[in-house]
């Protein structure tokens, strides 16, 4: 009489594979999401920054989300920071280390009024 089939090793393998896939997905999500509480979010919509007036503490970051169909930048000429191109649907994060009052501008649409004011407090 043949030995009965033991399905336990197959079940364990399926659980192990499912656990690896779940952890990999969670890890990928953590790499994509910006840190909460570490700064602020600004949305690039059409040819505007929303909100157009931002206040953060020195050393904190702003994540710029491009919700537009246009390529944008978040450029701070006075503090020498530039996000580079932010493609539609993408985001970039900039950290502002020094207190001061600054102007943010999109290099492509600043002449169309895509400007925001930034206050960085100590």
The fold adopted by the segment(s) 39-121 is Immunoglobulin-like (2.60.40)
The 10s digit of each residue's pLDDT in 24-40 is 554 444 444 444 445 89
Burial 37-71 (b: 16+ CB within 10 A, else e): eebebbebeebbbeeeebebeeebbbbbbbebebb
Domain boundaries, given as residue ranges, for the chain: 39-121
Give residue-wise pLDDT tens across range 10-21. Answer: 666 666 565 555
- Please write the tens of the pLDDT for every residue from 88-122: 999 999 999 999 999 999 999 999 999 999 999 99
């Amino acid at each position: 009489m043949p030995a009965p089939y033991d399905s336990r090793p197959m079940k364990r393998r399926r659980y192990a594979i499912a656990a690896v896939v779940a952890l990999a997905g969670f890890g990928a999500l953590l790499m994509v999401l910006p840190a909460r509480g570490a700064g602020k979010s600004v949305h690039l919509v059409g040819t505007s920054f929303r909100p157009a007036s931002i206040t953060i503490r020195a050393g904190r970051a702003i994540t710029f989300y491009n919700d537009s169909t246009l390529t944008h930048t978040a450029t701070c000429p006075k503090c020498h920071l530039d996000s580079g191109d932010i493609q539609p649907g993408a985001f970039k994060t900039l950290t502002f280390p020094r207190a001061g009052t600054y102007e943010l501008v999109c290099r492509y649409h600043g002449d169309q009024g895509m400007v925001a004011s930034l206050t960085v407090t100590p």
